[in-house]
Amino acid sequence: MIIKRTLLAFTVFISATATAEIAPIIKGTNYLSPYCGCCKEWVTHMKDNGFELENIYQENLTPTKIKLGVLPQYASCHTAQIEGYTFEGHIPAADIKRFLAKKPTRMKGLAVGGMPMGSPGMEYGDQKDSYSVLAFDDKGRTMVWARHN
């Protein structure tokens, strides 16, 4: 009787596991300085959350940021392009996933200007700055996409 229950439980477990939906890997390109450790930490955060980013190391990121529509006031240390959108700085992967799921047509991407402590890749003990993730359009207009404390 115990063996039958064990086999039944195992069969149910295998069936549930086999039919569970596996989230697809989200691919993109990340432009970063070869000298920036926090950028590499952000890439690790993204990988841990289902993203696969090709890293392109550049000495001067300014031309890439300009080309991708990042205004200076929203600039940070790295810039990613995923599914045709631009993602600037230490944005949490969950915010990017939500943005990609909604695919806002008038927005060009998301940005976290500067390098706020406690944001992905900028973890340092319990130090955490409050910061906002901004959605921006091609004219530089923004709206708050998410707030983090």
What pTM did the predictor assign? 0.83
Which ranges in the chain belong to alpha helices (H)?
A: 2-19, 37-48, 62-67, 93-102
Residues 121, 80: Cα–Cα separation, whole Å: 14
Q: State the DSSP code for 124.
A: B
Q: What was the pLDDT predicted at 9?
A: 45
Total structural domains in the chain?
Answer: 1
The arithmetic mean of pLDDT across residues 105-118, rounded, is 94
Domain annotation covers residue 20: no
Q: What was the pLDDT predicted at 84?
A: 96
Domain range for residue 120?
Answer: 26-148
Q: What was the pLDDT predicted at 3?
A: 55
Domain annotation covers residue 70: yes
Domain annotation covers residue 11: no
Phi first, then psi: what are they for 43, rounded to 5°?
-60, -40
Domain annotation covers residue 85: yes
Mind listing the pLDDT tens digit for each residue in 16-46?
Answer: 444 456 778 999 999 999 998 888 999 999 9
CATH number at residue 42: 3.40.30.10
| Pairwise pLDDT comparison (9 vs 1), residue with the higher score | 1
Domain annotation covers residue 116: yes
Domain annotation covers residue 4: no
